[in-house]
Structure 1
Amino acid sequence: MSQAERSQPGRPQAEQVTPPKSAGRRPRNPLGAPGLLGSEITTLLRRHRTYALLAVLAAVPVLIGIAVRIETGGGGGGGEGGPDGGAGPAFLAQVTNNGFFLVFAALAATLPVFLPMAVGVVAGDAIAGEASSGTLRYLLVAPAGRTRLLLVKYASVLVFCLIATLVVAVSALAVGALLFPVGDVTTISGTRIGFGEGLVRAALTALVVAVSLAGFAAIGLFVSTLTGSGIGAMAATVGLLITVQILDGIPQLSGVHPYLFAHYWMSFADVLREPVHWDDLSKNFQLQGLYVAVFGAAAWARFTAKDITA
């Protein structure tokens, strides 16, 4: 049968040549088109601003280690075990006896301000930065879509949370090993664990800290959908962080403290107890999940209705 005969309008529908059903279809992916997340992470990690933020975070353990070394002259400082009080001072007092504790002291020093501030900069710029540079409308070309793009942006911020936390932990471990002796680890509970298990606890602590920043990252993403100015979104996110930290430090507001996203951040110290205390850790995870759900939904509602043609 010739091509002309197959294309005649009177021919039965069954005899007409149709393309395969799978032709032209793209695989569905909740995070967008294949490679979209990887491309976003690569773009984030290639920015000079990201290098600057990570460099500052890596420098904090170095400064802490040098300061403790100068203060003590490298000699034995506080006793092993430490009190159950503040996580930062408890770990810092043990650094001279075991440089491994510099990991926990550095995380305790960076978590209230430096780590969330870096996350706030990245999250606040996620959408607003694209809008201010004029690239947002091009990112929304099919098949990405607004929902998928928002998920990709948030996933990339979470990856940055983990990378930033690991940078602090690895830098602290290296500096602690160079400036102080390392060995078996004495937990906050007073028991001793091997150095290998201590490394596992340190990795788990870094993961807990990264998860602790998930709620704040969702807030920053929501703020980023409210404005077309990247600088404005970053400033608002960091300002909110400072405000919450101030509120969390006022004893008269103790009734609202358990609902503030930063209240259980220092619960990561419970990872270094024997056995691990999960009460405050569980409360922290639940609180972060609540913030992710609320502000993630708010960001989606705002972004899907956002006018990007202006």
Structure 2
Amino acid sequence: MPAEHETEVTTAAPGSPVTNTRPSSSWSLMASELSVLFRRLRTWAMLLALAAIPLLIAAAVKLSSHPVAPGRGPPFLDRITQNGLFVGVTAMIVSVPLFLPLTIGVVAGDTIAGEANLGTLRYLLVAPAGRVRLLLIKYASAATFCLAATLTVAAAGALAGVALFPVGPVTLLSGDTIGVGESVVRSLLIAAYIAVSLLGLSAIGLAISTFTDVPVGAMAATIVLSVVSQVADNLPQLEWLHPWLFSHYWLGFADLLRQPISWTSFGDNALLQAGYIVAAGALAYGKFTSKDVLS
């Protein structure tokens, strides 16, 4: 049995029936899954690539001989030289359309298809982990990566901003000024908002992963769907469809940069992602529970 996922099975003496086969606890399976995910070089390579984005932005602004004109480049780019705390926010905005969905697509698309491709899926079910519980644990693992990826961008941006630029009170979009401590809290709220935004995509990747034994195909399909959703969200001819697209609220965290904070966009985003989680989860459940697992 592969050592990647530890299970708890009671064996019997030769020639006698098995008297007890007890599945591992959900917590031990979850811990094993997270351990496997974060021990992979691919996972760390993706996190390092995400961390490089704010470092690149900070270095480019620092080394530039001309100040960034207001309105040029990504939002808040022109404010970085005055306050390094904007490096993390700018980096998260830059990462949302492509880089974060790309890494999420890789992790989510690999959840079930990766196990099938390696020949370990049937062992997880024989253990037995149970198909429904395995789906839940795989999704929880992908959701954890969503948070880890977003926090990586935010943390690398904060460190680069503090190291290369002055740090001080932040002026919000509403015109109010807040201190450094509250600014850090707002940055963490934005990271949480983006992590929640990616939960629907993770569920879609999990569902696609149950339909194939080729993880690369599931990864590619998930990433393509994220691009298609964003393209459709920018077509005025499809305005009626925009509120139903899982990417519609990805950049809607402006309310978190106002005083007082309005939680309307956060709630709308969470509700939309929850709908996709339920729909994609039902699709994954229907396919996976009736699937013949041969590998």
**How far is 1:71 from its partner?**
2.7
Q: Specify the alignment match of 1:59 in structure 2.
A: 52
SS in 1 for 2:210: helix
CA contact (8 A) 2:74 2:94 kept: no
Normalised by the length of structure 1, the TM-score is 0.84
Q: Which has the larger radius of gyration?
A: 1
**How far is 1:240 from its partner?**
1.0
**How far is 1:277 from its partner?**
2.2
**How far is 1:106 from its partner?**
0.6
Q: 2:43 aligns with which of 29, 32, 50?
A: 50
Which aligned pairs between 1:100-139 and structure 2 lie closer than 5 A? 100-139=85-124
Q: Specify the alignment match of 1:261 in structure 2.
A: 246
Between the aligned partners of 1:230 and 1:48, the Cα distance in structure 2 is 17
Matched, 1:298 2:283: yes
SS in 2 for 1:239: helix
Deviations 1:40-85 (A, max 9, x none): 0010001111011111100000111112222356x6x667xxx8xx
Instruction: Calculate percent identity across the aligned residue pairs.
Output: 51
Normalised by the length of structure 2, the TM-score is 0.88
**How far is 1:121 from its partner?**
0.5
Q: Specify the alignment match of 2:176 in structure 1.
A: 191
Between the aligned partners of 2:61 and 2:200, the Cα distance in structure 1 is 33
CA contact (8 A) 1:91 1:101 kept: yes
Q: Specify the alignment match of 2:271 in structure 1.
A: 286
Between the aligned partners of 1:68 and 1:150, the Cα distance in structure 2 is 44
Structure 1: 5+ residue runs without aligned partners?
1-22
Q: Specify the alignment match of 1:146 in structure 2.
A: 131
Q: Specify the alignment match of 1:170 in structure 2.
A: 155
Structure 2: 5+ residue runs without aligned partners?
1-18
Deviations 1:211-259 (A, max 9, x none): 1111110000000001010111111111111111111121221111111
Q: Specify the alignment match of 2:199 in structure 1.
A: 214
Between the aligned partners of 1:231 and 1:143, the Cα distance in structure 2 is 27
Between the aligned partners of 2:227 and 2:175, the Cα distance in structure 1 is 35
Between the aligned partners of 2:121 and 2:176, the Cα distance in structure 1 is 54
**How far is 1:26 from its partner?**
6.1
Amino acid at match of 1:194: G
Between the aligned partners of 1:136 and 1:308, the Cα distance in structure 2 is 7
Of stretches 243-252 and 283-292 in structure 1, the one that deviates more from structure 2 is 243-252
- Alignment RMSD, CA only? 2.1
Amino acid at match of 2:164: L
**How far is 1:130 from its partner?**
0.5
How many correspondences in the alignment? Answer: 277
Between the aligned partners of 2:117 and 2:224, the Cα distance in structure 1 is 20
CA contact (8 A) 2:89 2:187 kept: yes
